[in-house]
Amino acid sequence: MKKLIMVSNRLPISVTKKEGALKFYKSTGGLATGLSSFYRNYESKWIGWPGITSEKISKEDRKKIRESLLEENCYPVFISQSDLERYYYGFSNKTIWPLFHYFIQYAVFNKNFWEGYRKVNRTFAEEVVEFARKDAIIWIHDYHLMLLPRMIREKLPDASIGFFFHIPFPSFEVFRLLPWRNEILHGLLGADLIGFHSYDYARHFLSCIHRLLGYEHMLGQINVEDRIVRVDAFPMGIDFDKFAGAVKKPEIQKEAKRIKKKIGDRKMILSVDRLDYTKGIPQRLECFDLFLERNSEYREKVTLILVAVPSRTGVEHYQILKRQIEELVGKVNGRHGTIGWVPVWYLYRPLPFNKLVALYSAADVALVTPMRDGMNLISKEYIATKVDGRGVLILSERAGAASELGEAIIVNPDNREETVRAIKEALTMPEEEQIERNRTMQERLKRYNVTRWAQEFIDRLEHTKELQRALQVHRITPQVRKRIIGDYSKATRRLLLLDYDGTLVPFAGKPSRAQPDPELRKLLGGLTSDRRNEVVIISGRDRKTLDNWFGPFDVNLVGEHGVWIKERGEDWRLIEPLKNDWKEEIRPILELFTDRTPGSFIEEKEYSLVWHYRRANPELAAIRSRELKETLLDLTQNRDIGVLEGNKVIEVKKVGISKGKAALNWLEKENWDFILAIGDDWTDEDVFEVLPEKAYSVKVGFGFSRAAYRIESPEKVRELLGQLGGKSDE
Ligand code: GDG
């Protein structure tokens, strides 16, 4: 059975000490209970803080806590009061929470908090490493532990590590405010899979790692050092059957009836949240106030039950918010209330599960209007309890859940007019319409429940691991290297097909920086002076540059991705007669994109046009290059013009011309007994494709390739070529 280690700030079991005795409480809601059926497939452990600080417990207590928790497959991480202040109340809740929810004005940037955060993450890492076997699956939850993936990876390089964010990930402009932004990103990238509730958050994260660390991605896949990391959206579901089933229980039905009786023949609107400034509770009260003011016919006809569950009571902003809510409740009740009718019933306490479900079930309308919310499960749970289909959900467009619950009345929580209209619409919505909307949402929530969510996350994590392993198989191992060198030395006719930029020299862009350095010149000198070798440099560069750089060498050249060919000792020749009339049509399009993308430019080669965007803003360039490619592909359909994507370039040229076709010029010449081709980008794939089976093909860097082997960098390419006999550096 596979071993699964869940890691989160809090354990699903909390410990308290009263009058010298330890007490254990299971949290009823949340991940732990929702995932019980999923767990059965694994030998699982949960690592987290048990909710009591080290100062409050003796050595003996620790032992007892450990033992009792282990019976429930939990393992405690003990945290001292001062570390808790810095790590949890400080960095997690006064820095990350407000910043990631766009409450920038509340975010505190304090070095002491940050150090506490790092320290506690380190403590978590030590505990996890102690538990995890090499093949364990480690699933880390949420923003309290963003440094953990890298810390674990340093100790367990092959571990499967997944990270899931339960809160939003902000846009680059907001994330960049964080002084420790790069450390956080590096920390997260220690994971193999990073999951978010929505594509928007995933997109923000990808944009941050692109702009701050320079990592590009392909469909959510990033090459970090020598590992693939996946970024994806997994909208969290609920335990649908638990909520739908609970409503049918007699004790809950009884409770719902009791609530309805108290409300009388009035309509009931429900609002439930942790008391948090992200949930938009004051704004919601103001909307209800405005609703009553505008719609006098609803006075005495509607009641808002406002449940605020105490949360982070030690943090100042939460204390201020609590007072603010209490004042507002008083204000609304004072303004609109009558003898016998209190418009807002306010409850400041956690409710037992049965009471909560009874409230969901009794409510005609749920008003869920957070300013920002990673997902918001309350909205999903409300829908799940509507077994007869009646009930209306009003949902903020800024809750992650809004992208799945499109049949709800969706509002902008800052638009009071719209929210007031939504309340009216909800109260007057015909029953058939309520049922129709709810049924659609219920189908979806039932299908994508919490078990499915967890399973998809773990499946994707395992798939990412498989992909990493598959790519590792292709790395040039010492044995393969030995075989290449052995075959090379035995051979009497050898063909070396070498790309230039990104293969023999690091990708530099500017010609001045890319020209062959003394080490490379020696290497080429060594290889070309051996009469058994035929060296072909296959480049996208133009003839003039290639002549300047390689004139002194006894080498074959291919220019402009295969348009031009120059055999040793001969002149340049066109691979086939070419016409250039298409350029007039394509050039204006490239010019238009150049104007719209500052930093990009057009290079005109004799038989191709190239749009370079490496100096443009990477995000804008990513959008524009996709747009341009689509436009060009449309235009060139069914014509003999091809669109080619290279490293930060888009090249348009006649089809049928490729590095592969040029390579055939030498491949077909004789029966070589050793062939080696090395390249780094898409244009080199054409060479790999035409090689005979016995040839060695090597891709520089990571990413998908037809090549049989891969090598990390141009430095490593030089090392390999040096070992083949190009070595002349002594
Ligand atoms: C974070 C993100 C994301 C609430 N009050 C009571 C109670 N609850 C239960 C609900 C629900 C859960 O707590 C609350 O979940 P939410 O999603 O609404 O909000 P957060 O606590 O802020 O959670 C959020 C979530 O993580 C999951 O990823 O959706 O965006 O902020 O399950 O039922 N349960 C009981 N009594 C209460 O008084 N029994």
Which domain CATH number covers 540?
Answer: 3.40.50.1000
By most ligand atoms within 8 Å of CB, the mutation choice from 378, 383, 449, 457 for ligand 1 is 378
Residue-wise pLDDT tens digits, 373-409: 999 999 999 999 999 999 999 999 999 999 899 999 9
Position 729 scores a pLDDT of: 41
Task: For ligand 1, atom 23, name the residue with the nearest CA.
Answer: 376
Residue range of the domain that includes 244 = 240-447
Question: What is the Å distance from ligand 1's center to 121 Cα?
Answer: 24
Q: Are residues 137 and 49 in the same domain?
A: yes
Task: For ligand 1, atom 9, name the residue with the nearest CA.
Answer: 29
Residue-wise pLDDT tens digits, 8-32: 999 999 999 998 899 998 875 556 6
Percent of the chain whose predicted confidence (pLDDT) is above 90: 75
Q: How crowded is the C-beta side of 42, counted as CA atoms within 13 Å?
A: 23
Position 512 scores a pLDDT of: 61
Q: Which of 407, 432, 447 is the last residue of a domain?
A: 447
Residue-wise pLDDT tens digits, 356-370: 999 999 999 999 999
The answer as to whether 472 is a domain residue is: no
Provide mean pLDDT across the span 82-90: 97
Protein residues with CB under 6 Å of any ligand 1 atom:
28-29, 166-167, 236, 272, 274, 309, 350-351, 353, 356, 373-378, 381
The answer as to whether 693 is a domain residue is: yes
Angle between helices 353-362 and 250-263 (to 10 degrees): 50
d(CA 148, CA 123) in angstroms, rounded, equals 9
| Higher-scoring residue by pLDDT: 716, 639 | 716
The answer as to whether 466 is a domain residue is: no
Position 5 scores a pLDDT of: 95
Q: Are residues 419 and 325 in the same domain?
A: yes
Task: For ligand 1, atom 10, name the residue with the nearest CA.
Answer: 378
The answer as to whether 709 is a domain residue is: yes
Using a 10 angstrom Cβ sphere, with 0-12 exposed, 13-18 middle and 19 or more buried, the burial of residue 85 is middle
Any idea which of 126-140, 313-327, 622-636, 716-730 has the lowest mean pLDDT?
716-730
Q: Are residues 553 and 688 in the same domain?
A: yes
Q: Are residues 338 and 196 in the same domain?
A: no
Provide mean pLDDT across the span 1-11: 91
Amino acid symbol at 659: K
Amino acid symbol at 109: F
Q: Are residues 252 and 146 in the same domain?
A: no
Q: How crowded is the C-beta side of 210, counted as CA atoms within 13 Å?
A: 21
Q: Which of 609, 634, 654 is the last residue of a domain?
A: 654
The answer as to whether 470 is a domain residue is: no
By most ligand atoms within 8 Å of CB, the mutation choice from 28, 144, 252, 376 for ligand 1 is 376
pLDDT of residue 103 exceeding 80, the answer is: yes
Position 384 scores a pLDDT of: 98
Question: What is the Å distance from ligand 1's center to 170 Cα?
Answer: 20
Q: How confident is the model at residue 728 (pLDDT cuts 50, 70, 90)?
A: very low
Closest approach atom of ligand 1 to CA 238:
32
What sign results for the dihedral spanned by CA atoms 616, 620, 621, 627? Answer: negative
The answer as to whether 458 is a domain residue is: no
Q: What is the DSSP letter of 373?
A: B
Q: Are residues 267 and 337 in the same domain?
A: yes
Q: Which of 195, 214, 233 is the last residue of a domain?
A: 233
- Say which CATH number the domain at 180 has: 3.40.50.2000
Q: Are residues 148 and 263 in the same domain?
A: no
Closest approach atom of ligand 1 to CA 374:
30
The answer as to whether 460 is a domain residue is: no
d(CA 208, CA 185) in angstroms, rounded, equals 8
- Say which CATH number the domain at 596 has: 3.30.70.1020
Question: What is the Å distance from ligand 1's center to 626 Cα?
Answer: 39
Any idea which of 113-122, 161-170, 418-427, 622-631 has the lowest mean pLDDT?
622-631
CA–CA distances in Å: residue 370 to residues 313, 375, 399, 406: 19, 10, 7, 16
Q: Are residues 138 and 49 in the same domain?
A: yes
Provide mean pLDDT across the span 453-460: 94
Question: What is the Å distance from ligand 1's center to 299 Cα?
Answer: 31
* Long-range contacts, stretch 684-691, CB < 8 angstroms, 24+ apart: 684/499, 684/503, 684/538, 684/659, 686/562, 686/658, 686/659, 686/660, 686/661, 687/497, 687/499, 687/538, 687/659, 687/660, 687/663, 688/660, 689/660, 690/660, 690/661, 690/663, 690/664, 691/663, 691/667
The 10 Å CB-count burial string (b at 16+, else e) for 372-409 is: bbbbbbbbbbbbbbbbeeebbbbbbebbbbbbbbebbb
> Please, what is the average pLDDT of the chain?
92
CA–CA distances in Å: residue 617 to residues 203, 377, 469, 623, 626: 16, 38, 34, 10, 14
Q: How crowded is the C-beta side of 215, counted as CA atoms within 13 Å?
A: 27
Q: Are residues 253 and 391 in the same domain?
A: yes
Q: Name the pTM for this structure.
A: 0.78
| Higher-scoring residue by pLDDT: 704, 273 | 273
Position 730 scores a pLDDT of: 34
Position 29 scores a pLDDT of: 55
Question: What is the Å distance from ligand 1's center to 309 Cα?
Answer: 10
Closest approach atom of ligand 1 to CA 400:
30
Q: Are residues 279 and 359 in the same domain?
A: yes
Position 39 scores a pLDDT of: 76
Q: Are residues 359 and 393 in the same domain?
A: yes
d(CA 277, CA 282) in angstroms, rounded, equals 9
Question: What is the Å distance from ligand 1's center to 30 Cα?
Answer: 7
pLDDT of residue 632 exceeding 90, the answer is: no
- Residues contacting 398, CB < 8 A, separation 6+: 370, 371, 372, 373, 412, 413
**Into how many domains does the chain fold?**
4
Closest approach atom of ligand 1 to CA 272:
5
By most ligand atoms within 8 Å of CB, the mutation choice from 281, 377, 382 for ligand 1 is 377
Position 30 scores a pLDDT of: 59
pLDDT of residue 620 exceeding 90, the answer is: no
Residue-wise pLDDT tens digits, 270-304: 999 999 999 999 999 999 999 999 999 999 999 99
- Please identify every residue annotated as catalytic: 499
The answer as to whether 467 is a domain residue is: no
Which single residue is written with the structure tokens 């997902």? Answer: 375
Q: Are residues 17 and 113 in the same domain?
A: yes
